[in-house]
């Protein structure tokens, strides 16, 4: 018997639970994490208690070797401890995202400008005009109204000069938004305009969720770039490190795909097997991160260049993400925006 086995056996004899791992190691409040170890459930088959710092979480499933617990509201980054029969386990660290803006209605990833300001939509039901369509969250996390007149804003993107563009799924247009929040029409007739993104040559791509991806050249000529299966909600875009466009678009299936479209418009399936995939982003190593479900677990899914998927952040209601300066990420849910310290460097959205 090895030293670690003797230690584990001693802990079990003493009746103390022992945590070996918490997965994933990052979460939002409401997300579910899997705790593995030994002695995690009392012999009397009563449920153990799981403490996230000072706050107790809900145990969803429990057994001697693993349990699933829901991260409680108000939890912050810090130790996770399992308690059974008056015995406490060793602590294990979990990073928890911090809410920075609430009472919003994003439907895809947030956007960041060159100074690190965050922009997020209040999209609203289709056809409903809301008082503020786009909010600006500055680097001190102060939230301010930015755009008022747009109907159903969906996606936001910046060109290389720092000019903002936003799509409207209501009127099928893409608008150019000035620094003072006023807007002018950049392109019309885009169907149900959802995802938008710029390539290296500064062509703008617009996803009509009915099944078409348009390419708008710098001279504003419009081309049909690719066609896909229609989405029940929206297309979401991110350019990969080699200039390919990656697209998600939830369908009625629970086994959806991430598509890769090369610069010539040739479409292939990069990964298949996600539930309701939405906003996506790349890191500098070429890993893709998607707000989706994998194997029934919701959160941020990492897909390696080789096509291996794993849940990296646990959380419900996630619709998108954007990597931020300082090795952090901004996460958007259906009603809020969160900040999470994460030792990952995002891929610049616009390569030089």
Are 274 and 208 in a shared domain?
yes
Domain total for the chain? 2
Q: Is the domain of 34 the same as that of 114?
A: no
Q: What is the pLDDT of residue 199?
A: 96
Looking up residue 144, the CATH number of its domain turns out to be 2.120.10.30
Whole-number pLDDT of residue 107: 94
Pair (89, 102) in one structural domain: no
Q: What are the distances in angstroms from CA 312 to CA 115, 229, 327, 336, 342? A: 27, 28, 15, 19, 10
d(CA 137, CA 116): 9
Let me know whether 330 and 211 are in one domain.
Answer: yes
208 occurs within a structural domain = yes
Is residue 115, in this structure, part of any structural domain at all?
yes
**Whether residues 325 and 178 fall in one domain:** yes
Cα–Cα distance list, 307 to 25, 32, 277, 302 (Å):
21, 24, 15, 9
123 with 155, same domain: the answer is yes
The answer to pTM > 0.85 is yes
Owning domain of residue 171: 98-341
Residues 59 and 128 in one domain: no
77, 104: one domain: no
90 and 102: one domain? no
Q: Residue 352: CB partners within 8 Å, gap ≥ 6?
A: none
- Within this chain, do residues 103 and 52 fall inside the same structural domain, yes or no? no
Task: Let me know if residue 140 belongs to a domain.
Answer: yes
Q: Is 162 helix (H, G, I), strand (E, B) or coil?
A: coil
pLDDT at 197: 98
Q: What is the CATH number of the domain that holds 12?
A: 2.60.40.10
Q: 48, 73, 96: which is the final residue of a domain?
A: 96
Distant-in-sequence, close-in-space partners of 310: CB < 8 Å, separation ≥ 6: 24, 294, 301, 302
Q: How do the pLDDT tens digits run along the chain, 352 residues long?
A: 343 333 343 444 467 899 999 999 999 999 999 999 999 988 776 789 999 999 999 999 999 999 999 999 999 999 999 999 889 999 999 999 999 999 999 999 999 999 999 999 999 888 788 899 999 999 999 999 999 989 999 999 999 999 999 999 999 999 999 999 999 999 999 999 999 999 999 999 999 999 999 999 999 999 999 999 999 999 999 999 999 999 999 998 889 999 999 999 999 999 999 999 999 999 999 999 999 999 999 999 999 999 999 999 999 999 999 999 889 999 999 999 999 999 999 998 765 4
Kindly report the length of the chain.
352
Domain boundary among 96, 129, 147: 96
Q: What is the pLDDT of residue 240?
A: 97
176 with 315, same domain?
yes
Residues 168 and 192 in one domain: yes
d(CA 315, CA 298): 6
């Amino acid at each position: 018997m090895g030293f670690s086995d003797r230690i584990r056996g001693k802990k079990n004899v003493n009746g103390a639970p022992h945590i070996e791992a918490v997965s994933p190691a990052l979460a939002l409040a409401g997300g579910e994490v899997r705790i593995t170890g030994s002695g995690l459930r009392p012999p009397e088959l009563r449920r153990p208690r799981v403490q996230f710092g000072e706050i107790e979480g809900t145990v969803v499933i429990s057994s001697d070797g693993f349990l699933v617990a829901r991260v409680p509201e108000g939890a912050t980054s810090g130790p996770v401890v399992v308690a059974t029969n008056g015995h406490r386990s060793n602590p294990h660290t979990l990073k928890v995202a911090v809410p920075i803006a609430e009472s919003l209605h994003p439907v895809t990833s947030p956007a960041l400008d060159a100074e690190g300001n965050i922009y997020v939509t209040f999209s609203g039901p289709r056809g409903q005009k809301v008082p503020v369509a786009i909010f600006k969250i500055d680097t001190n996390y102060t939230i301010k109204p930015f755009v008022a007149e747009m109907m159903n804003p969906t996606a936001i993107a910046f060109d290389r000069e720092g000019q903002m563009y936003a799509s409207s799924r209501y009127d099928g247009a893409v608008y150019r938004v000035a620094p003072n929040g006023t807007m002018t029409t950049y392109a019309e007739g885009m169907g149900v305009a959802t995802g938008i993104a710029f390539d290296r040559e500064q062509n703008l791509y617009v996803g009509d969720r009915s099944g078409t991806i348009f390419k708008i050249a710098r001279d504003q000529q419009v081309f049909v770039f690719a066609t896909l299966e229609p989405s029940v909600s929206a297309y979401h875009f991110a350019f990969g490190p080699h200039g390919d466009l990656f697209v998600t678009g939830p369908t009625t299936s629970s086994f959806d795909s991430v598509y890769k479209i090369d610069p010539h418009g040739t479409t292939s399936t990069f990964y298949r097997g996600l539930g309701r995939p939405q906003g996506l982003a790349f890191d500098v190593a070429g890993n893709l991160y998607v707000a989706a479900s994998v194997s029934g677990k919701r959160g941020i899914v990492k897909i390696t260049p080789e096509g291996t998927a794993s849940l990296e952040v646990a959380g419900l209601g996630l619709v998108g993400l954007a990597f931020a300066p300082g090795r952090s990420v901004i996460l958007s849910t259906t009603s809020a925006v969160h900040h999470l310290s994460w030792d990952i460097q995002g891929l610049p959205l616009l390569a030089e």
